Chain A
Amino acid sequence: MPPTVVHTLAELPMGQRCILDHLELPEDIARRLMELGFLPGNEVIPARRAPGGGPRIFRVDGSEVALRHETAARVFIRRDPESDLVVLP
């Protein structure tokens, strides 16, 4: 599969591992996200989508956190150099 250029968490396909780069969000939301594990350098995987296309659940720092599309679109990522599609249980 040819690697596509992905910039934000919102564009990341399900099960694709990535490394978080930075957040471009208002301070209070950014802080809450960081407290939940969305820190630069941490690994993030989109794991599940709410039924009917609502927010997505991301696996990050040992827990699962739901974010809406527009929030995920402000979370910038870089590809994990050894990234592969992770098979989700």
Chain B
Amino acid sequence: MSSCHGGAPRTNLLPNPAIPLPRAAHDHPIIVAIVGPPNSGKSTLFNRLTGLRQKVANFPGVTVEHRMGKAKLKDEQEVFLVDLPGVYSLHPRAEDEQVTHDVLKGERPDFPKPDAVILILDSTNLGRNLVLAAPILSLGMPTLILLNMADDLALRGGKVDVAALSAELNSPVALVSATKGTGIDRVQQFLLATAAKLSTVALPRVELPVLQDVPKCRQWAAKLGVRASYKAPSPPLWTRRLDTVFLHPIAGPVIFAAVVIAVFQSIFSWAQPAMEGLKQAVAASGHWMTSVLPDTPFRSLLIDGVWSGVGAVVVFLPQILLLFLFIGILEDSGYLARAALIADRTMAKFGLQGKSFIPLLSSYACAVPAVMATRVIENKRDRIATIMIAPLMTCSARLPVYTLLIAAFVPNIPILRGVLYLPAATMLSLYVLGFLAALFTARMLKSTILKSQRSSFVLEMPPYRWPTLRSLALRLIDRAKIFLTRAGTVILLVAISIWVLAHLPLQHGKTPPLEHSYAGMVGKGVEPAIKPLGFNWKIGIGLITSLAAREVIVGTLGTIYGIEGDEPSEGLQKAVRKDLSPAGAVALLIFFAFAMQCFSTIAIVKRETGGWKWPIFQFSYMLALAYSGSWIAYRLASHFLT
């Protein structure tokens, strides 16, 4: 740590802890906005201050994501924090910057003006980061300036005189490390002061640039840097060394491919024990309930409907969390930006650019955040093209379906001298298939209706960082919540409806055989349309319910076979094998690879593209692709798999 760091600046802003804080603040909640450039550690700070008391939301009317959370202060006081989108300036040009600008100015009717601002900057590149301080301080709000990554700065021999900077800016300034938590007590003090309405505003001593264009602000920042005796740290040697390897002409692409393969292989081998455990727990608890409860229709609903329906989906939680864990590690470590760079040349061939790679990679987890992540693409047509192809990438909701069918039909034999096993290889080829379909679609769109000039690709390469356990854990908890909420709402509802439809109409006061139930009738109704693909009416029921969300088919089949199975312990895999030929299984896999069965994605595409035109086009296109693809697959597979 540098010796000049110390002496809490502007202590007059701090409330005296001996004086009880006034409670006047309760008429309206205190809101503090966290602002900063991308990669300055905003979210890390936000997570540290709010922990699990946060939720993701969108600003109404626009698609800019923000997080709201409560920070608990020592005195049982609560302050609301809002994590605004990362911006380099407040020039209202992009949607993100417009939102940040409007929120800070109190110009959004749906969002109250924040009471104070925490401006978080990367201390290892203070000259450029301070540029944002000019427009923020011009707002005339109480502002705490945090110089983040203090540990990195010290380690690499950089220095800054915090007291001098604070005096020049007339605002409190603190060196912190959001990942390690050092200096965070200073933030607590600021929040307490804000809650007590003791934070004050004063204009910086270094006169703010009148015309706030980038060159003027940069000059202002440079002047500040000199007055605060800022010594830039030595270059990040480890980042450069790692880049020599990760961006090596040969090793780079090889590592890239190895990372992708390793992720997929481990999803299947590592998640297996946990999934087996969950599966057995679901089955065992089902048995237990069967033995305890009296034999009534209610027991059947509970066990055959709810338990096997929801249970069949919940067992996939470990696998989905593992996938999100890997994506989180890639993102937090900084490797994702390198991957985008490596991908740019290939993406350019398909009319896209490297930045499309980031949303496309997230759509391996889920298309919904991916569609929102397309906001990084400035070119409108590139953005729409990326949105159109994102749902073709293999999202985690397909995993339950793929896993079920692969486990039921693909034998576990080693191939390529034991490097891969056939199930993993099948899974990998489904991922490749989705990816190729996406590229093909992009190429087609970009040379026809979305034709545009080659767009630019401007991407900052962040230094490599160790992902923190904390941030990864928070992500996973977030995901688990979303997944379980879905299992507890959509899938639960479908499971109950299917159970009801499968038990009615009563025949002579008894439940009919599945074939003559309402569900069976619907299945029989669509059978002519899906017969050419090798699917029977039971799969048809599953396909219809999967329009809500892909993984629902697993729950539906769980419910159907739960009702039908004479032997309650009969596994879903075994049951599916009875109803589907191997060729039909291939066709079903292809259908799920291409079809857009997801209400959430349709809704988000509608919102992001501002109308029904694109989501309708997308849905029809993907359905046509799915139908023709699985028809061809069924023909071919029937020929070879007999």
Residues on A lying within 8 angstroms of B by beta carbon are 25, 28-29, 31-37, 39-40, 48-55, 57, 61-68, 70-71, 89
29 A-B pairs with CB atoms under 8 Å apart are A25-B456, A28-B378, A31-B93, A32-B458, A33-B458, A34-B218, A35-B131, A35-B214, A40-B215, A48-B247, A50-B252, A50-B342, A51-B249, A51-B253, A55-B344, A57-B243, A61-B127, A62-B124, A62-B125, A63-B460, A65-B460, A66-B459, A66-B460, A66-B461, A67-B456, A68-B348, A68-B456, A71-B456, A71-B457
Residue on B with the closest CB to A60?
A: B128
B248 touching A51, Cβ below 8 Å: yes
**Whole-angstrom distance between the alpha carbons of A48 and B87 in the complex?**
26
**Cβ of B419 under 8 Å from chain A:** no
Shortest CB–CB separation between residue A89 and chain B, in angstroms? 5
**Whole-angstrom distance between the alpha carbons of A62 and B461 in the complex?**
11
Q: Which of A25, A53, A64 contacts B460 (CB 8 A)?
A: A64
Q: Which of B241, B249, B378 contacts A52 (CB 8 A)?
A: B249
Tell me which residues across on chain A come within 8 A of B93, comparing CB atoms.
28, 31
B232 touching A50, Cβ below 8 Å: no
**Whole-angstrom distance between the alpha carbons of A89 and B243 in the complex?**
11
**Whole-angstrom distance between the alpha carbons of A64 and B125 in the complex?**
11
Residue on B with the closest CB to A36?
A: B460
A-B CB contacts (within 8 Å), total count: 109
A-B pairs, 4 with minimum CB distance: A54-B345, A35-B88, A51-B252, A62-B125
> What does the 1/0 interface line of B225-247 toward A look like (CB < 8 Å)?
00000001001010011010001
**Cβ of B394 under 8 Å from chain A:** no
Shortest CB–CB separation between residue A70 and chain B, in angstroms? 7
A52 touching B345, Cβ below 8 Å: yes
Shortest CB–CB separation between residue A60 and chain B, in angstroms? 9
Q: A35-B88, A62-B127 are in contact. Are A51 and B247 (CB under 8 A)?
A: yes
A37 touching B253, Cβ below 8 Å: no
Q: A37-B128, A61-B128, A89-B240 are in contact. Are A51 and B457 (CB under 8 A)?
A: no
A39 touching B215, Cβ below 8 Å: yes
A36 touching B88, Cβ below 8 Å: yes
**Cβ of B531 under 8 Å from chain A:** no
B214 touching A55, Cβ below 8 Å: no
Shortest CB–CB separation between residue A80 and chain B, in angstroms? 18
B458 touching A29, Cβ below 8 Å: yes
